[in-house]
Every structure is written in structure tokens, then in C-alpha cells.
Amino acid sequence: MADLYPVKRALLSVSDKTGLVDFGQALAARGVELLSTGGTAKALRAAGLDVRDVSEVTGFPEMMDGRVKTLHPVVHGGLLALRDDAGHVASMDEHGIGAIDLVVVNLYPFEETVAKGAPYGEVIENIDIGGPAMIRSAAKNHGFVNIVVDVEDYDVVLAEMEANDGQTSYALRQRLAQTAYARTAAYDTAVSTWMADAVGGTPRRRTFGGTLTQTLRYGENPHQSAAFYSDGSSRAGVATATQHQGKELSYNNINDTDAAFELVSEFAPADGPAVAIIKHANPCGVATGDTLAQAYTRAFDCDRTSAFGGIIALNQTLDAETAEAITGIFTEVVIAPDATAEAIAMFEKKKNLRLLTTGGLADPTAARLAPRQVSGGWLVQDRDVGRISRDDLRVVTKRAPSEQEMADMLFAWTVAKHVKSNAIIYVKDGATVGVGAGQMSRVDSTRIAARKAQDMAEAMGLPAPLTQGSVVASDAFFPFADGLVTAAEAGASALIQPGGSMRDDEVIAAADEAGLAMVFTGMRHFRH
């Protein structure tokens, strides 16, 4: 097998016709014979190119609504034949099979069909069969055949042919083959994932696929390589956002921005402005307000120290007033559904600040998978979309919560879902005033959150920490009364927790003794 091999005959069959005509014209100018099917052939002919129909080559018409057109020995023989194998060459000559040196295929728009909510039958019709078969045949025989599945590779192939007098290198054909197999794997992943959802149950096999969005400078640490892949979904968030300014996002930026945006998406814009500030994937301040600027200030006042160099997510359009407030400290990323021209102009003065707009919020109730790799396999679960309302709460203490306490407890519970376990959140008047995250002991999280509130009170010159008169949310039950007692000592007046501990009676008794109101949710929000 020679390193360089000429491209004399190409088969083009694409659903995405971006760049098709220009590519076809460049091939034809080099004397490459063009074979094609259906709409692709029509588009090429409309541009004045000489194209042979695959049906003319195979001697069989397209049939069954186009389901059968390239599934033929003349096509696959032309793709799979080893050009340096005398037996293969003899078979080609005997059966009139011409070699195909280049295949250009992008598949039926299955993912797009699913994304638009098409009915079952329409989705099935958009499962490509002939395309993946040709891709796999061409990729297997990459010693001689070029397989192109991405528009981005059109110019790459043409550049190689220009540099090598109409030939391509083995190294390029290898890379194209790898890309091709990854594409069919991702395509089959999309199909199998959709069918798993449609059929229900736990599938015997699971796959995950993605398309490279960005090669990152490094991972969590400089000695780790990393990249960002998109799953192709249209869900609003960091993967689909528009970046208006600033340097490339890092691995940690992307991870933290996702955490921030998913949290702020819990708060519907119609219910008022909300802001979340994230540091190391944990919220260090979340608040609502009459304006975005007020919500930002209240979130910032929860933990001004941790907010430095953090990620800020907003649930409404970023305005100039809020942008000005944000520029008061160093911030890595700001993400919002949209931004005014004034706000964008204001941020342009901060060259290291990245501004992302998403066009909307993520649906916090949408079901999706949350995979995690472990040694030797994957853990796969549904994303935590659990929610509660007032009607779901059970008052377990002698004192029932007030209306304000109830509203704050529901707010705190929403935030708790996005804080690493063990999670304790103090909230007062629709704003976090203390967050304890990721501790091995729940009572330690309670103490840390209270201590942060005390530090902030001293820094802001307040007469007392804002935990005085606050409510507390715990992502899981209190196993002992000590965590509750610590919260009471910090000034909390009410608590929301799942309940379900063997010592619930002991914890309830401690709440009653302290004069606290407490409700059980019957649901927990572990987040590891």
C-alpha cells in the first residue's frame, strides 16, 4: 500500500448541503468523476456539474422511498476492494465494479428531528442506513479510500490534493477514518438513547457520544489534557451559548458556568430577578431582588471573599446597572439569557471577563441522563429534577412556620439541590446568608455556614450576622440533633429537611425545645 493514493472517483450523498457545490466544483476541476444520489445529485447538476446517478452505476433504481439506493455490491465493492490485492482487482474487473476513492456523507438529520419533538414514525424515518454502511466500508478501507463526514474537512482534503497532485496521504485517510467511526458511533448513540427513552426500562447497553467543541488549554490542573464536547442538544447553557468577549473558557470555567446556569435556571424570570454566584461548582451566594442589580448585591453580600474570581449567572437580561455592579470585582464569567448593548459595551473594558448569552434559561424539569465514569465503567442516573411545593411539606414541630419563613425555606431548598453534600444553606428574605458545602459531617457544614455569615457581618459592619432570623435547609436528614442545635445557636428560626432519620423524634424534640419551626420534605438532594 502506497502512502499517497489518487482520488479519481467520488461518491457524494449528503443531507447538509453546506459547501457541497464548491467542493464538487473543486473535485470536478481536478478531473474527479462524481457519483451521487437524489437531492445531492440535483444540487450538483443545478450548479452545472456532470454527475452520474448511483442507480445508473448499480443498474438498480432507488426504491422503497429512497431506503434502498447505495446498498449494492457495486457500491460497497468499490469501497472495500483492496487495490493492491490481485484477487480483489480481478473480482472488480469480472463484475464491472469501479473503485470509489472518496466518499462524502453526512447523515439524515436524526438528532434535529428528535430535538424538534417529531412523532415516533417521523423519527424512525430519519434513521440513516445506507449512509452509515458506506461510512464504515470506506473507513475500514482507509488504506485507499477517503471518507468525509464533516463539512470542516472539505478544505482539508482539497489542500492535500493540491499539495500532492490529486493524491491524499495515508495519515489524512487514517484521521478521516477515525472521525468517521466516531460520527457513526455518536449517531448510533443518539438513536439508541432516543429508543431507550421511547421504550422505557433500563437498557442492557449504554453509549455516550459528542462532537469536539473546543480543545482546552488543560484540565482541572495544568498537567491534565482536556477538551469540551457537545452532545448536539439544543438545551440552553454553556455548550450552546454565544461568547461576546474574553479569552477562551477553561475546563474549570465551563464546569463552574454550567453549575451556575443550572442553578439560576431554577428561578423563572416571571417570578423576578435572580442571581447566583458560583465558586468551585458550589454557590457562594444566591439571591432574588426587585432588580437584577439588587439581586446581585444581595448574592454578593453572602460571601464577598469567595465571590472574587467567581462565575455569575442571571435569570434575566443583563442590564447596564447590574453590569456596572459586577465590574466592581474580578469575575471570570457572566452568563445570562441576554445582555443589553450598554452592558456589553461596559464589559468590553474588562478584557479578561467572559460574557456568555444563551437565548433563554435551561428547563430545570427536563429529564436527561447524568453519567459519571468510574474505574471499569459508568454510573448512570437521571438528573435530579426533584421539586417540592408547599403542599408537599409536612410540619413536624409544635410551631408552624410563618409565611416569610415558608417562602425562604422553599428558596433555600431550591439552592440546596445545587450545593455539594453535606449541604447546609441559611436564607433570609430571599437571599442566602451562609452556605456550608462538601463537608464530611453535617454539623461541620452548619458551623462553617454560620461562621461565614459571622465573618461577613464583621466585614460589613453589621450589628449581628444575617443568620439571625434566618431559615436553614439541609439537603439530607439531620442524623443527630447537634446540627439543628448549631443552627439554632446561629439564630435560625426554622428548618427544612427531608426527615427519615432513626432519630427524627430526637431532632423534632430539640426543635420544639428551641422554639423552631421545622418541615419535612420527604425528598433529599444528595450531590456528590
- Catalytic residue numbers read 140, 280
Distances in whole angstroms, Cα of residue 279 to Cα of each of 18, 303, 324, 436: 41, 11, 21, 13
In sequence order, which residues have a C-beta less than 8 Å from that of residue 59 and are 6 or more positions away? 74
Q: Are 473 and 413 in contact (CB under 8 A)?
A: yes
Burial of 219 (0-12, 13-18, 19+ CB in 10 A): middle
Conformation bin of residue 264: beta by default, left when phi > 0, alpha when psi is -120 to 50: alpha
Q: How far is residue 437's CA from residue 303's CA, in Å, rounded to a whole number?
A: 13
Q: How far is residue 229's CA from residue 256's CA, in Å, rounded to a whole number?
A: 16
DSSP 500: -
> What cell does 263 get?
442553578
> What cell does 515 get?
422554639
Burial of 63 (0-12, 13-18, 19+ CB in 10 A): exposed
Amino acid at 58: T
What are the helix (H) ranges across 68-227? 73-80, 86-95, 110-115, 120-125, 130-140, 154-163, 170-199
Q: Are 105 and 150 in contact (CB under 8 A)?
A: no
Q: Are 8 and 99 in contact (CB under 8 A)?
A: yes
Q: Are 517 and 494 in contact (CB under 8 A)?
A: yes
Q: Are 250 and 266 in contact (CB under 8 A)?
A: no
Reduced to 3 states (helix: H, G, I; strand: E, B; else coil), residue 508 is helix
> What cell does 132 get?
452509515
**Cα–Cα nearest to 253, from 239, 263, 267, 265:** 239
DSSP 339: B
Q: Are 415 and 263 in contact (CB under 8 A)?
A: yes
> What cell does 15 get?
443531507
Conformation bin of residue 314: beta by default, left when phi > 0, alpha when psi is -120 to 50: beta
Residue 508 CB coordination number (10 Å): 21
Distances in whole angstroms, Cα of residue 488 to Cα of each of 286, 364, 448, 481, 505: 22, 32, 14, 11, 17
**Cα–Cα nearest to 276, from 255, 257, 290, 260:** 260
Reduced to 3 states (helix: H, G, I; strand: E, B; else coil), residue 354 is strand
How far from each other are the two terminal CA atoms of the chain, in whole angstroms?
52
